[in-house]
């Protein structure tokens, strides 16, 4: 035992007492979650431009309204520059008659309609932003009308050349047939037969924020024109379409004093991404603990350090000492990220949304997940002589470890479904999936949690035992990399 603890202490110090380890503690969350923050940060840094767009509208259906909407958007961006999405419907709400504003107040506050902040007397987001991402959403639009009687191929080539030379950002072609199509409100257009298409020409039209904004604005304008043809007020139609507010509530429970209460509601974003964040935290801890195990064993084997260590202890003591040191290091990583997450939630007033009662289960499943994968990576590392030889063996292990991450959306939607249940009972994925299921707030029967933990403990025991048998043979093995059948035979050699 003393020799095993000595090896464990040495492995723990070798794991945590390095600058690379401290750096990885900071870098790993950035790699996992930094993309979300980077998008917003890059959106703020993106320099706004004035995009000149030419519009050919022979019947003057949209060009005037689009120019007015673009000018309004530019004024709002100049007054309050931001990277948040603009909403055209907010401007429609500002133009509501007083009697309609009063009718929308109660529904808007709870239903989160496009005009919610305006009707409740709160400051609204600037009007006329598209619903796209933050990048390039602060660009100004300068819309110019093309006075050509016809738009033939020669003219399209000329306009395309102006786009390539950066004189124009894009040009839009609204077909003349659009007027007839909009005027027909009899229902014949519902089939979509001979529907005229608006053409948007640019170098990157698929991801163009201008195309998205023009499309959304034109759709809203087209609806208003149809409403007018039917003798309906667009503002009245908007009020009639206000959604029925639905608030997410937890199940009703009875307190010890006999009173009845319901759990605090959890918004959709929290319900989706909180379990995913907890699962990602577990994945990071496993990855930071298990992967170095392979590299350490491979280094000691290739440099013949293991032969010196075996002069002081036997292979079982050496292996168990390494595993215990790795577990101790993983617990340090776990504590660092746990207290960091709790501190962040407290700072953002989100502590009430964090299920703190999940922490004990998180701890247990994390402990055995680290043991499970560390033993597998150790067995792989001890059976090869070069890192490149370990890659084919590591691929199936990484696939099992990544499976919950690739299916997290399905798991969060149906945490009590058959797919989530069986993944939580499959030892390689049991740790992350069961913790995800628990953190969703859905009642997971205690017998399922205990059964999953029991299967994981049993599987970990078997894996550690087999890894020990492989370690005993492979630590002194040199030469050809064994096949999988040969590797398994090491586990049962006398």
Question: According to the model, what pLDDT value does residue 100 have?
Answer: 41
Please provide residue 171's backbone torsions phi and psi, each rounded to the nearest 5 degrees.
-140, 145
Question: According to the model, what pLDDT value does residue 118 have?
Answer: 39
Cα–Cα dist 104/359, whole Å: 44
Cα–Cα dist 310/56, whole Å: 82
- As beta bridge partners, residue 51 has 141
Contacts of 256 (CB under 8 A, 6+ apart): none
Tokens, residue 408: 């997290």
Question: According to the model, what pLDDT value does residue 35 have?
Answer: 59
Closest CA to 417 of 409, 431, 273: 409
Question: According to the model, what pLDDT value does residue 42 have?
Answer: 61
Judge whether 383 and 481 are in contact, CB under 8 Å.
yes
Closest CA to 270 of 288, 297, 248: 248
Cα–Cα dist 324/260, whole Å: 47
Please provide residue 35's backbone torsions phi and psi, each rounded to the nearest 5 degrees.
-60, -35
Tokens, residue 409: 């959306």
Cα–Cα dist 189/182, whole Å: 9
State whether residue 478 is helix, strand or coil.
Answer: coil
pLDDT one digit per residue (tens) for the chain, 494 residues:
777 777 777 777 777 777 777 777 777 666 665 555 666 666 565 567 788 999 999 988 888 889 998 888 888 877 754 444 444 444 444 444 444 444 434 434 444 444 443 334 333 333 333 333 334 467 888 899 998 888 888 999 999 999 999 899 999 999 888 888 888 776 655 555 567 888 899 887 666 788 888 888 888 888 888 888 888 887 778 888 888 877 766 667 777 777 776 665 556 666 677 787 788 888 888 887 777 777 777 777 766 676 666 667 777 777 778 888 877 877 787 777 777 777 777 776 766 666 677 888 888 898 888 889 888 888 887 877 777 777 778 888 888 888 888 888 888 888 888 898 999 999 999 988 998 888 887 888 899 999 999 999 999 999 888 888 887 777 766 667 777 677 777 777 66
Cα–Cα dist 473/471, whole Å: 5
Question: According to the model, what pLDDT value does residue 33 have?
Answer: 59
Question: According to the model, what pLDDT value does residue 297 have?
Answer: 78
Strands, sheet with 50-56, edge to edge from the N-terminal-most edge strand: 140-145, 50-56, 170-173, 199-201
Number of H helices, E strands in the chain: 20, 6
Judge whether 317 and 487 are in contact, CB under 8 Å.
no
Instruction: Tell me the Cα Rg of the chain.
Output: 31
Question: According to the model, what pLDDT value does residue 130 have?
Answer: 36
Task: Give the residue extent of every domain in the chain.
Answer: 2-36+269-490, 46-240
Closest CA to 334 of 375, 286, 273, 400: 286
Question: According to the model, what pLDDT value does residue 489 have?
Answer: 73
Cα–Cα dist 80/73, whole Å: 10
Burial of 257 per CB tally in 10 Å (0-12, 13-18, 19+): exposed
Judge whether 461 and 368 are in contact, CB under 8 Å.
no
Question: According to the model, what pLDDT value does residue 263 have?
Answer: 60
208-241 as b/e: b if 16+ CB within 10 A: bbbbbbbebbbebbbebbbbeeeeeebbeebbee
Cα–Cα dist 224/241, whole Å: 14
Residue with tokens 């110090």: 13
Tokens, residue 29: 């969350």
What H or E segment, with its residue span, contains residue 199? strand 199-201
Judge whether 371 and 453 are in contact, CB under 8 Å.
no
- Provide DSSP, 85-137: PPBHHHHHHHT--HHHHHHHHHHHHHHT-TTHHHHTTPPPPPBS--SS-STTT
- As beta bridge partners, residue 458 has none
Cα–Cα dist 119/104, whole Å: 7
Closest CA to 227 of 182, 191, 189, 179: 182
């Amino acid at each position: 035992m003393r020799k095993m603890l000595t090896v464990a202490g040495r492995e723990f110090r070798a794991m945590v007492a390095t600058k690379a380890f401290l750096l990885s503690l900071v870098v790993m969350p950035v790699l996992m979650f930094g993309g979300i923050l980077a998008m917003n940060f890059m959106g703020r840094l993106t320099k706004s431009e004035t995009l000149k767009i030419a519009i050919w509208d022979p019947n003057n259906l949209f060009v005037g309204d689009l120019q007015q909407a673009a000018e309004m958007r530019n004024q709002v961006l100049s007054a309050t520059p931001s990277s948040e999405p603009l909403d055209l419907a907010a401007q429609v709400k500002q133009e509501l008659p007083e009697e309609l504003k009063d009718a929308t107040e109660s529904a808007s506050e709870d239903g989160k309609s496009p005009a919610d902040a305006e009707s409740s007397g709160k400051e609204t987001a600037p009007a006329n932003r598209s619903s796209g991402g933050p990048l390039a959403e602060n660009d100004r639009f300068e819309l110019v009308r093309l006075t050509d009687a016809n738009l033939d191929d020669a003219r399209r080539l000329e306009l395309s050349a102006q786009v390539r030379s950066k004189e124009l950002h894009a040009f839009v072609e609204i077909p003349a047939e659009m007027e007839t199509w909009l005027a027909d409100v009899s229902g014949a257009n519902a089939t979509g037969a001979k529907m005229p298409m608006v053409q948007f020409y640019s170098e990157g039209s698929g991801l163009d924020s201008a195309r998205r904004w023009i499309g959304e604005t034109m759709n809203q304008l087209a609806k208003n024109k149809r409403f007018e043809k039917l003798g309906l007020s667009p503002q009245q139609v908007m009020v009639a379409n206000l959604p029925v507010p639905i608030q997410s509530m937890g199940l009703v429970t009875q307190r010890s004093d006999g009173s009845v209460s319901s759990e605090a509601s959890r918004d959709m974003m929290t319900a989706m991404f909180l379990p995913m964040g907890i699962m990602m935290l577990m994945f990071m801890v496993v990855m930071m603990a298990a992967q170095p195990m392979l590299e350490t064993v491979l280094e000691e084997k290739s440099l013949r350090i293991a032969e010196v260590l075996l002069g002081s202890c036997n292979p079982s003591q050496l292996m168990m000492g390494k595993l215990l040191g790795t577990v101790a290091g993983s617990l340090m990583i776990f504590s660092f990220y746990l207290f960091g997450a709790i501190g962040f939630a407290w700072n953002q007033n989100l502590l009430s949304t964090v299920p703190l009662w999940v922490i004990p289960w998180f701890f247990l499943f994390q402990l055995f997940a680290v043991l499970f994968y560390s033993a597998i990576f150790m067995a792989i590392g001890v059976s090869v002589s070069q890192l490149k030889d370990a890659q084919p063996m590591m691929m199936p292990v990484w696939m099992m470890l990544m499976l919950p991450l690739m299916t997290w959306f399905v798991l969060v939607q149906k945490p009590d479904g058959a797919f989530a249940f069986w993944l939580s009972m499959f030892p390689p994925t049991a740790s992350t999936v069961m913790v995800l299921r628990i953190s969703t707030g859905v009642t997971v029967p205690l017998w399922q949690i205990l059964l999953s933990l029991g299967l994981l403990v049993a599987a970990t025991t078997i894996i550690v035992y087999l890894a020990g048998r492989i370690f005993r043979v492979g630590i002194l093995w040199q030469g050809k990399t064994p096949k999988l059948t040969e590797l398994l035979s090491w586990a049962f050699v006398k």
